[in-house]
Structure 1
């Protein structure tokens, strides 16, 4: 796979060195949408703010998103209403609507190009019709002006569809650049290539250990998709998932439906167009799966490509990439003060791939919490019974192979990892995996050299799986990912893998 389409003409980000005085009011870890918007709101309220990014601005999901901002999110509203309550679904909708409104206003003020688009949730098969109808009914009850259709003209099967006009799509790198500029203008700083490896809260401050030296802050926000360094409840309640996106040059003779489409069935198919000058691309995404799935990851890109070629003949694939997001067990994003942070460390994340509207909403909540104000909006508080129902439902519907593979990872036994004798090897989707004593070791041949690393995740000891499409070692427990040579890419881990 190659890099996201958005990086072909990505603007430059005006970043800064780490603050020389090494003391600020607020340290924000992570320069994606959540971190940058939270930093901007705090800086505009007069706080001194430093944003620290381990890689580059938007290196995570923010720079690899489909970039669809909508409050019609597949069948999410009806699922929330059925699993928890209509009141929680209303809170969730209100928060996302506030986030979408903030995003629209910011883009207008900063001159970020956006396109108004209709969002469509469609049933690709008869089995999805009931879910589409339920989403329409819930949306109507919550005040959304959705329209229900028996079908819509499209080159793929549409057995029913619900649509919502007036939503938004954009190029995420343009938004990221505008946010960095706005943070700088408000007096904050954004520093790339500085990894935070430790967060410790004292009675009156938060001490951060970084790859460029220490930083002290009055408060800290972990805007890192899942909270780095955390090994408690919040991390356990966020499930890492990877999904895939392909960009195509379509055949001009084949009509492309307007709008932002997503199927009601799983695995989902997601579509939108992106026009740059006189060139229009077709974006097709989906095929989500838990990070560290043992199946060959390249198969997911192949599936999306085959689907596109079947329904849009003559299309030529130009890009293929993936992104990682986290799904909360309770189904609503986490915006919270972490228990171990002495009341000074906050976290926001878990958007289930709908972060373009949810991230601004989360940042608005963070702004209130940082100032000691009751949040003006929340995503709602999931019930214990609803969370348990969701967890049991996911477990019941999970393929037997997925459950078996997760059990192998947790126990370190079974399959070619646990059953291989000392010093023996087995192929794992293009990489060799074996044991040295009781320690799992991985070996991959990348860029003309052989890399051998420990397969024990330094976060909480999960056994890593090889991701052949992206040439990385991925942890199925909490989503930490590493290069073939063991360098940390993303996730809650803060250390590289041990080399062998």
Structure 2
């Protein structure tokens, strides 16, 4: 089945990108999602010569498949950060997201991007979730947010209260992408779509090598692809890839009054969106899992459908989709040098499904590093910091599981008899995704289409070790 987000079918119009690759650039940004576009725009406004390279189309990755909540509350995330990091680091993280949210709000107003202000709720399904609600409220208030605990959550199923934060934002992410792209081009950014980067080599200048053989010389590179495709820095071992699912339903009126995210199982995300014909849409998300590590992705989509039909009878499905993001082991995003002591190659990622604010904060932090600016909160986004020690135990468990998945993939008899489909990143045996018709690697989240071409992840080369005929037989 084809999974397409509600935003991708709305046909945002923008000027076609320039397909001509220049010979040289001052700064090359890799990745045409929210983070990459914001970074390119910020640097171009400051007078830098910027080229932005996108492997597919602008916004076609995580940005265009987001639920597009620009919230600083973020479910249980603040409590999770506080459990691993100091109160000061938590405040810096919140300050970063506040500044990013304000930046998007100003940009949207100035460029005619529609957005809505809504309260956000982190709600509990049960008693354990209620205890977590209290912890979230404590972490949020310590970080300077005006949250409050409410008992009446106003949802059509039982809950055990919620943390509420008023005046958060929601919008159409691809409408924002279009406005950012137009503004970036107007400031001189050269946008090249269909340009998949294979590697970055050399120094002074750097050489950006594309999968089709073309190359570009540049003084700096910013890799804004969620998971860097550069193995230097070992970011693939410092993050865990996660997929989650979304559905859109047409409803007679607004089905919920605000944004909602559960803090305990089952994972559910709710928000509304205006339809294209004056109608109302309910967006339902959840059922996330580590990429490539579930028995059936399709069953997770179907379970969301059954849950929605039970609690929102009469809702008429219009779209189904999924998205991928990356969770860091120390609970904080990355924005900074790929290697310590050098600022020639910078990376951004690890937004833990909150890239609508974290991605913009990362762009602001990277632009500050390139231009010599300073934001006090940017220390929370450092790529190399002693605070990563707080995530060592979690990282050890995650990487231990990667080792288990690698071994199981090669020892499973059915795959050994037919020959295995092997990821070109680190040799993991990929698994067939029955919801999206893709090959997904359970190690670090690389994904490939049914023909073996790269969709996303740290892999830069397509699948090689299995013929298309054999792949078709396995799909059947």
Q: Same fold (TM over 0.5)?
A: yes
Deviation track 1:202-228 (CA, whole Å, cap 9, x = no partner) reads: 1x2110111261111110000111111
> Gapped runs of 5+ residues in structure 1?
421-425, 427-432, 442-454
Query: 1:271–1:382: structure 2 CA closer, same or farther, 3 Å change rule?
Result: farther
Aligned length: 459
Which has a greater percent of strand? 1
CA distance in 1, matches of 2:11, 2:237: 35
What per-residue deviation string (whole Å, max 9, x for no partner) do you get for residues 444-499 of structure 1? Answer: xxxxxxxxxxx111111111111111011111111110011111111111111114
1:382 positional shift = 6.5
Is the 2:91–2:144 Cα contact (8 Å) retained in structure 1?
A: no
Q: Select 1:387's aligned residue among 386, 391, 394.
A: 391
1:410 pairs with 2:406: yes
Equivalent positions of 1:105-144 (< 5 A) are 105-144=106-145
| Residue 307 of structure 2 corresponds to residue 307 of structure 1 | yes
Q: C-alpha displacement at 1:141, in angstroms?
A: 2.1
Question: Equivalents in 1 of 2:102, 2:386: separation in Å?
Answer: 24
Query: Out of 431, 434, 440, which is 1:468 matched to?
Result: 434
Q: Tell me the CA shift for residue 43 of structure 1.
A: 0.3
Aligned partners of 1:408, 1:77: CA distance in 2, in Å?
A: 30
Shift of 1:341: 9.7
Deviation at 1:265, TM superposition (A): 0.6
Change (3 A) 1:315 1:207: same
Gaps of 5+ in 2: 468-476
Structure-1 residue corresponding to 2:470: none
Structure 1 residue 29, shift from structure 2 partner: 0.5
Task: Report the equivalent of 1:194.
Answer: 195
When structure 1 is superposed on structure 2, of 84-93 and 366-375 the one drifting more is 366-375
* SS of alignment partner, residue 8 of structure 2: helix
2:271 maps to which residue?
272
Instruction: Name whichever of 375-384 and 345-354 sits farther off.
Output: 375-384
Which residue of structure 1 lines up, in the alignment, with residue 472 of structure 2? Answer: none
Which residue of structure 2 lines up, in the alignment, with residue 327 of structure 1? 327
Distance 1:170 1:382, change over 3 A: farther
Give the alignment of 1:487-498 within 5 angstroms.
487-498=453-464
Shift of 1:114: 0.4
User: How far off is 1:303 after superposition?
Assistant: 1.3
What do residues 226-273 of structure 1 show as CA deviations (whole Å, max 9, x unaligned)? 111325422210110000000112355xx7221010001144200000
**Helix, strand or coil: the match of 2:353?**
coil
**1:299 offset after TM fit, Å?**
1.1
Does residue 35 in structure 1 map to residue 36 in structure 2?
A: yes
Do 1:10 and 1:173's aligned partners in 2 also have CA atoms closer than 8 Å? no
Tell me how far 1:10 sits from its aligned partner. 2.5
The answer as to whether partners of 1:251 and 1:312 remain within 8 angstroms in 2 is: no
Partner of 1:371: 371
1:124 to partner: Cα distance: 1.2
Q: Residues 267 and 158 of structure 1: is their aligned pair in 2 closer, same or farther, counting only changes over 3 Å? A: closer
> 1:56 deviation in Å?
0.7
Q: Does the 8 Å CA contact 1:272/1:284 hold for their aligned counterparts? A: yes
| 1:162 shift after superposition | 1.0
Deviations 1:364-403 (A, max 9, x none): 10001112444443262563552135447x76xx9xxx95
Tell me, yes or no, if the aligned pair for 1:325 and 1:353 is still in contact at 8 Å: yes
Tell me the distance in 1 between the aligned counterparts of 2:341 and 2:454.
24
Corresponding position of 2:183: 182
Q: Is the 8 A contact 1:184 1:190 kept in 2?
A: yes
Return closer, same or farther for 1:375/1:345 CA change in 2, 3 Å cut-off: farther
Asked whether the equivalents of residues 232 and 338 of structure 2 are also in contact (C-alpha less than 8 Å), the reply is no
**1:201–1:344: 8 Å Cα contact kept in structure 2?**
no
Question: 2 CA distance for matches of 1:231 and 1:297?
Answer: 31
Query: Distance in 1 between the 2:5 and 2:427 partners?
Result: 31
Q: Report 1:426-445 matches (<5 A).
A: 426=414, 433-435=415-417, 440-441=419-420
1:135-154 correspondence runs (5 A): 135-154=136-155
- How far the C-alpha of 1:19 sits from its partner, in A, is 4.9
**Whole-Å separation in 2 of the counterparts to 1:100 and 1:490:** 27
Superposed CA RMSD in Å reads 2.1
> Is the contact made by 1:121 and 1:132 (CA closer than 8 Å) also made in structure 2?
yes
The answer on whether the counterparts of 2:129 and 2:264 sit within 8 Å (CA) in structure 1 is yes
Q: TM-score, normalised by structure 1?
A: 0.87
Q: Secondary structure at the match of 1:131?
A: helix
Q: How far has the Cα of 1:14 moved from its partner?
A: 2.2
2:343 equivalent to 1:343: yes
- Could you tell me how far apart the structure 1 residues matched to 2:213 and 2:94 are? 41
Deviation at 1:171, TM superposition (A): 0.5
Please say if residues 471 and 484 of structure 1, whose CA atoms lie closer than 8 Å, have aligned partners that are also in contact: yes
SS in 2 for 1:383: helix
Q: Deviations over 1:143-179 (max 9, x none)?
A: 2111211232220112111111110000011000001
Q: 1-side partners of 2:3 and 2:201: how far apart?
A: 37
Tell me the distance in 2 between the aligned counterparts of 1:99 and 1:108. Answer: 14
Q: In structure 2, the residue corresponding to 1:485 is in which secondary structure?
A: coil
The answer to whether the 8 Å contact 2:3/2:322 transfers is: no
Alignment partners' CA distance in 1, 2:121 and 2:202: 45
